[in-house]
Structure 1
């Protein structure tokens, strides 16, 4: 599971999906005027595309703000980030103004923080014989993520939108 920090956006009324047949995902815009007709158009594509027919695809609403600056992190890392931002809650979701978020990110960047990383490890001592793997955290992770959150907040300020996460 993960948490994504994003700029508040609104649906445009258009729909799309990602086709994964070939070298990589290709975003396909649908000509549908409703979600139901978009699902029908996708079903017709899946009938002709072997990859999408096997693995499926899902219709997505086109939003009025691009998601290129979105920051997606593992839930465990989100807890640490949200505590550092003073925004932690039990369900790891929420929202605030871009200006408030930007200020919190700037404060978090200025704080002294051990950013040397945590090595990956696996635990084989689980009572049921399972191997639990902790992937660790690479050195510089927090500086990188707070830098990306700063860019996200700056764009949200420019657009006059809030920041949301869930």
Structure 2
């Protein structure tokens, strides 16, 4: 399953990530995420991204996530710096949403 985050406007940028990584990003943003649809205003989203960037422990993010194997299910690892990279991309998306008067939604 993958999640796409995008402003609800024509020709808007979008960011796509797998459900596991999206869950962790949404946790950092303080947003409820149940794998379904949601939305918030551009300014609210920007504030959440800025706070998450300020509080992100770059030493922990630098470790990444090791690959996990459980029976026949394999969950891939995450490279170091992934969360900071995604939050930086979401910062740009939030600014775009504000400049275009759009809300940010995900599904």
Normalised to the residue count of structure 2, the TM-score between the two structures is 0.88
- For residues 89 and 141 of structure 1, the distance between their equivalents in structure 2, rounded to whole angstroms, comes to 19
- 2:17 aligned to 73, 98, 109, which one? 73
Greater RCO between the two (CA within 8 Å, min separation 6)? 2
Q: Give the aligned length.
A: 104
5+ unaligned residues in a row in structure 2: which ranges? none
1:84 offset after TM fit, Å?
1.1
- 2:61 aligned to 115, 128, 149, which one? 115
Structure 1 residues 152 and 112, CA gap change in structure 2 (3 angstroms):
closer
Normalised to the residue count of structure 1, the TM-score between the two structures is 0.58
Which residue number corresponds to residue 3 of structure 2?
3
Of Structure 1 and Structure 2, the greater helix share is in 2
- Compute the RMSD of aligned alpha carbons: 1.5
Which structure has the greater CA radius of gyration? 1
Contact 2:56 2:84 in 1 (8 A): no
